[in-house]
Structures are given as C-alpha cells and as structure tokens.
Amino acid sequence: MHELGITKNIVAIVAEHAEGLSVTRVTLEVGQLSTIMADSIHFCFDICCQGTVLEGATLEIIEVPGIGKCQDCGAEVKLSQPFGRCDCCRSAKLDIIQGQELKIKEMEVR
Ligand SMILES: [Zn+2]
C-alpha cells in the first residue's frame, strides 16, 4: 500500500503551504487511471494528519475520469483502465491525456 507514503507527502505539502494556520479542508483530484485508491487515501489521511496543522481537517477527493487520445484517428476515448481501444477505429495506440493525475486542488485554512 503506497498510499500511506503518498498521503504523508500530501499532508507535508499542505502543512507547508498553511504556514502555521489550521487547515480545515483539503480537496484532491485523483485520476481514475492512477494506481491510487481514493479509499486508501481517506483511510491514511486521518492518521497522517495527527499532530499536524491538518488535524481534524476534512478530505474531499474528486475522481478525474480517464481519457485517451487515439494516435491513429485522433478520437478521444473514455477509459476506465490505463489501456483500451479506440471507439472509432479500434486502434490500441492510445495516449492517455487525462486520468493519471494526483493534484492538491484546494485547501481551506482557518
Ligand atoms: Zn482511432
């Protein structure tokens, strides 16, 4: 479970940006094609926040859908896995253009 390390990093980055203020809410964007499980991040978040300025903060996770672009015909295809086939020409040569991100979208401080 690499989510613990990822969550620790997120908490560290947010804490640094908070500059000593209490953080009440953190919003993350997690791509559906990333290997990160949103549930695991939720699970680790409270543990990682203990003893930091994020203690008691609410975590919100927005799941970003996966999109691939076909190298052959240029069509954009929705993906639920990091591979697939083009809806138009059935090509398997897809570039993933969305869905692999992990971003801290917003944070609220008190
Ligand atoms: Zn295509």
Taking alpha carbons only, the member of 27, 15, 17 closest to residue 53 is 15
State the Rg of the chain over Cα: 17
Q: Look at domain 3-65+99-109 and name its CATH class.
A: alpha beta
The predicted structure's pLDDT at residue 2: 87
Distance 22 CA to ligand 1 centre (A): 49
Q: Are residues 25 and 107 in contact, defined by beta-carbon separation less than 8 angstroms? A: yes
How is residue 63 written in tokens?
């799941």
Distance 91 CA to ligand 1 centre (A): 5
So where are the chain's domains?
3-65+99-109
Distance 87 CA to ligand 1 centre (A): 7
Whole-angstrom Cα distance, residue 67 to residue 75? 10
User: Between 38-49 and 3-18, two packed helices, what is the crossing angle to 10 degrees?
Assistant: 50
Distance 37 CA to ligand 1 centre (A): 29
Distance 93 CA to ligand 1 centre (A): 8
Tens of pLDDT, residue by residue over 66-101, are 999 999 999 999 999 989 999 999 999 999 999 999
pTM: 0.85
Distance 64 CA to ligand 1 centre (A): 22
Taking alpha carbons only, the member of 96, 77, 97, 95 closest to residue 87 is 77
**23: how many CB neighbours lie within 10 A of its CB?**
22
Distance 82 CA to ligand 1 centre (A): 16
Whole-angstrom Cα distance, residue 78 to residue 11? 31
Tens of pLDDT, residue by residue over 22-65, are 999 999 999 999 989 999 999 999 999 999 999 999 999 999 99
Whole-angstrom Cα distance, residue 7 to residue 18? 16
Distance 83 CA to ligand 1 centre (A): 13
